[in-house]
Amino acid sequence: MSKTYRGYTREQIAKTIDHSVLKPDFKTSDVEAGAAIALKYDVASYCIRPMDVPLAAKLLAGSNVPVCTVIGFPHGTTTSATKAFEAAEAVRNGATEIDMVINVSALLSGDYALVESDIRAVVEASHAAAREIGASASIKVIFETSLLNDELIVKACEFTEAAGADYVKTSTGFSSEGATVHNVRLMKATVGDRLKVKSSGGVRTLDQLCDFMDCGVTRSGSSNTEAILAEFDAKAE
């Protein structure tokens, strides 16, 4: 019988992690090392910068680990047309998961039509590019919850669903605060089982990851994959 920790198997833990290599000062060697980690632990996806998509796609070819990339990252304030182009290019280069940053400024300003149309532009461009090459694309929408109150988090969930995206996601990991249990629970309560939830930002330990899984996340971004799974190996029974 498989060992578990807090009711989760090692495979369940690994297949919740989007292993992330996103810092601007990372070199090609760091991207290659990250791909090796993603393959070794058979994680849910390998999340990298748009410039790294072709290399990641090559390194992960034939594996069960898809390529994920970030769009409008980390501020979300590029134009919708720019985000759509960036997303389509990423899909054509081999990404099948697109994590886009919401236009937080528009949301805070009450320009809700722009928020929704911005998401829809990325969703439609990603799907169109995927159809061109006979592939698929799923879209995660990053809220940057540290900048939002509960009311705006709920609205962001509603706009994400209306625009046809697949996931709501807490954070970029580049703002003042990452994922919290409160925000994850609020997002899950809002989207139910219609959309999936991803926690991201500051997920560094096994217990943190399990806390978010207990709240209903199916993905969690982390650059600490090796340490989390080493913790599992030490604690699982």
pLDDT digit string, tens, across residues 158-205? 999 999 999 999 999 999 899 999 999 999 999 999 999 999 999 999
Q: Average of pLDDT values for 132-139?
A: 98
Told to judge if 198 belongs to the known catalytic residues of this protein, a careful annotator would answer yes
* pLDDT score of 51 more than 80: yes
Is 99 a catalytic site residue?
Answer: yes
Calculate the CA dihedral of residues 56, 57, 59, 62 and round it to 10 degrees: 150
Q: How confident is the model at residue 92 (pLDDT cuts 50, 70, 90)?
A: very high
4-42 confidence digits (pLDDT tens): 999 999 999 999 999 999 999 999 999 999 999 999 999
Q: Which residues contact 208 (CB under 8 A, 6 or more apart)?
A: 202
The active-site residue, picked from 140, 188, 196, 198, is 198
Is the pLDDT at 217 greater than 80, yes or no?
yes
Contact 52, 19 (CB under 8 A): no
In terms of C-beta density within 10 A (0-12 exposed, 13-18 middle, 19 or more buried), how is residue 117 classed? middle
Amino acid 176: pLDDT = 86
- DSSP annotation of 102 reads P
Model confidence pLDDT, tens digit, residues 119-128: 999 999 999 9
pLDDT confidence of residue 1: 77
Over residues 45-70, the mean pLDDT reads: 98
Q: Which of 18, 52, 83, 99 is catalytic?
A: 99
Q: Tell me the whole-structure pTM to 2 decimals.
A: 0.97
Across 50-59, average pLDDT: 98
pLDDT at 214: 98
CB-based contact 3:10 (threshold 8 Å): yes
pLDDT mean across residues, the chain: 98
* Beta bridge mates, 158: none
Q: 26-59 burial string, b = 16+ CB within 10 Å, else e?
A: beeeebeebbebbbebebbbbbbbbebbebbbeb
Choice among 83, 155, 169, 196 that is catalytic: 169
Nearest Cα residue to 157 out of 148, 126, 109, 76: 148
pLDDT tens digits, one per residue of 95-110:
999 999 999 999 999 9
Tokens describing residue 66: 């898809």
pLDDT in the model for residue 7: 98
